[in-house]
Chain A
Amino acid sequence: MMLGRTANGLFWMLRYLERAENTARLLEAGLRMALTRDLVTAEEEWRSVIATSGQQALFEASHEGYDGMSAWNFILRDKANPANVREMFGAVRSNARLARTNISSEVWEAVNESWMQLESKLARPISQSAVGDVLATIKRAATSVHGALDGSMLRDEAYHFARAGTYIERAESTARILDMKYFLLLPSLSYVGTSVDSGQWDQVLRSVAGVRAYSWLNAGQIDARSIVQFLVLDDRFPRSLAFCRSALRDNLTSLARMHGSEGDCHEIMRAADVHIAEMTVERIFDQGLHEFLVDYMARNAAIADAIAEDYRFLA
């Protein structure tokens, strides 16, 4: 037996953790890109990072132009940005506190220790020389919480709600990053298949921690089709859309088994499964990658809403 509010807390604890980690990777990729480009391109780069994080309007309201220092401070800790990483991690911790009786002390301590470290590192503006360490701390925080979760939690409802949050958020993030870059780089079908700006795609792969895995699978060849195959359809890569969907399916199946019945979320999930099972890279490009991603994100959001409804997250 578990309270609906607690299930909601676990779900969002892991969603915020995932969001914080993905944001750190996005910044890391931007940082690297900006270092290897001239000033004008670098400014464009930071604009794209802010846009991918979904905060363009808010950023431009308080800044004249784009530069690295303002971009990462805005995303990591600026009070003008209510969705900064410090706030995200604060939300991870308050959700962990709220679900305290349903997580192991290992998970709680991993969250709490990470939060203490980040609070002190994010307390003051972050300089060029410090930003790398901050980003590494955020990624390490996520790794230690995931490790504690997998290593110490009973595979009961609590675990599956937490993991459902992970995969909903991760799928959303990968889809958004891909959509943002695709939209910027390949506005029309005629570009598909032509040689691409490998630097930009390298950055996409970096923001999903997939550079090495991709290179290994594709012997260093960078082209749009292979990247889409990798990020959308390859269910071996833990941040691909197919992987996230499949992992989410396992969590929802376990929940249905424990409850002895399925809900709307299972039905929506099945329809989405059929849809993605029929996909090939060709079909995705025929339909339009952007259209495909928008549809994927809509289904993802519908599953999340149905989970909240089916399991009485809110009064």
Chain B
Amino acid sequence: MPGYQPGDADPFDEMYDPAGNIRPAYVDYCDWLSAQESNSLKRKNAEADDSFRRTGITFNVYGEDEAEERLIPFDMVPRVITAGEWRRLTRGIEQRVRALNAFLADLYHRQEIIRAGRVPERLFRQNEAWLPHMVGFTPPGGIYTHIVGIDLVRTGPDEFFVLEDNARTPSGVSYMLENRETMMAMFPDLFTQVSVETVSNYPRRLARSLAACVPPDAANPSKPTVAVLTPGIYNSAYFEHAFLADQMGAELVEGSDLRVVDGRVQMRTTSGYHPIDVLYRRVDDDYLDPLTFNPDSVLGVPGIMDVYRAGRITIANAPGTGICDDKAIYSFMPEIVEFYTGEKPLLPNVQTWRCADPDSLAYVLDNLEELVVKEVHGSGGYGMLIGPTAARREIKAFRAKLEASPENYIAQPTLSLSTCPIYTKKGLAPRHVDLRPFVLVSPGGIDLTPGGLTRVALKKGSLVVNSSQGGGTKDTWVLKD
């Protein structure tokens, strides 16, 4: 492509190799692209923006009065993964998700992993996401995390790392679906030239997976009633909640619609109360049941935990799974995977220093300018330090925080994330990306939709891909064999 300068071997560019040859994944796409007129691409780019605004795919950013709803920028160059690469990723992701569920089951029952001395007890005792209410209780089908998002980064041809596990309530799947719809509407001919695995059946797969998690004492065992619980229209992911409910044919409910009636969680319909069997909840644990957790919550359902324990409703994901999102737990994932699967992890972690450990802390403090430091409970790109790009003042402030409460932090090397081309006014340009595939878990097995959400740092050289920090998204293609 004229003008595209991916740089040398580092960072790894997913479209070009250092010699300037197009990598196999992008060959068909580039064939198509070189036949397009540049003016028509420019026009399409503007169209995409309009279409997102019209359909209302927006993202509420907390703390921004002016722009209550903002678009996540969409880039029209797809991110392409070959069938072979995807097969390897699938094996690694499935292994990791199996381990996560086994770990949660163990943690809330016999705690073998702690007895075996592989993970320290303090790790979850101090963790706010740890729910004593779940101890000794087995969720329907033994499944804890029904929907998981595994964040991956790439640094080389065969080098994929897990950056984060999202076992609580991973979001972003609506972008995976809408990005594909937009691409197909914009470039119908492109999809006739390149064979891409479909993602659009995700809502059906989700509905099937949730329905397979029917509780032991369901009101409608043969055809369970599924509902999506949202905090409401002001939540940043409301669009996604409505979108998924709509596509699944499930009701979209708020706490105020629900009440425990006759020992069941029921929703207020125009013809009376109707029992729910499976609740895909998109509210946090703390707000789920004001009788058990935060008494001030109006987002949840008083008494739902009793109904849950009585086996009359499935809550997906199970309460207490958020502990796996913790970055201190993350640092133990290689041990966790090995402990429960008896195998070496197929997908490695990024090297991680736990600042709770004095030797690690000393190393981290000596090398702050080189490292990425993250809060153990933080998410969304907030509360983190990227050493190489941080101002001296920021580093100083972080040093003080680290010294005050080292156990709240982990540190990782500044990874050279792979780059993909994005469309800019001056033509294609390389930008750093990550990838979040979405995994569904039910007693029927693990189901991974071929694709995911690719987030891209739109600013040249930036490594922060979070949408709350100016990142964008791309359609993610898994090629057919």
Contacts and interface: CB of A to CB of B under 8 A. Distances in A.
A5 B268 contact: yes
B126 interface: no
A1 B56 contact: no
Question: In this complex, which of A4, A105, A315 has the most chain B Cβ atoms within 10 angstroms of its Cβ?
Answer: A4
B233 A94 contact: yes
Interface in B111-141: none
Interface residues on B, range: 20 to 34
A5 B246 CA distance: 16
Interface in B221-258: 232-233, 238, 242, 245-246, 251-254, 256-257
Given A109-B55, A116-B53, A100 B242 contact: yes
Interface in A260-300: none
Interface residues of A, number: 23
Nearest to B233: A97
Contacts of A161: 270
Contacts of A130: none
A117 to B, nearest CB: 11
Nearest to B255: A315
B252 A101 contact: yes
Contacts, number: 65
A178 interface: no
A312 B257 CA distance: 10
B54 interface: yes
A204 interface: no
Contacts of A101: 242, 245-246, 251-252
B238 A5 contact: no
B271 A259 contact: yes
B227 to A, nearest CB: 9
B322 to A, nearest CB: 27
B55 A4 contact: no
Contacts of B270: 1-4, 7, 157, 161, 259, 311-312
A112 interface: yes
Contact of A5 (B54, B254, B272, B274): B254
Contact of A3 (B233, B238, B259, B268): B268
Given A3-B251, A116-B54, 19 more contacts: A1-B251, A1-B274, A3-B252, A3-B253, A3-B257, A4-B268, A5-B268, A7-B270, A100-B246, A101-B242, A101-B251, A108-B55, A108-B56, A109-B54, A109-B56, A112-B56, A161-B270, A259-B270, A315-B256
23 contacts: A1-B269, A1-B270, A3-B253, A3-B257, A3-B269, A4-B268, A5-B256, A5-B257, A7-B270, A97-B56, A97-B238, A100-B246, A101-B242, A101-B245, A101-B246, A108-B55, A109-B54, A109-B55, A112-B53, A112-B55, A113-B54, A161-B270, A259-B270
Interface of B: 53-56, 232-233, 238, 242, 245-246, 251-254, 256-257, 259, 267-272, 274
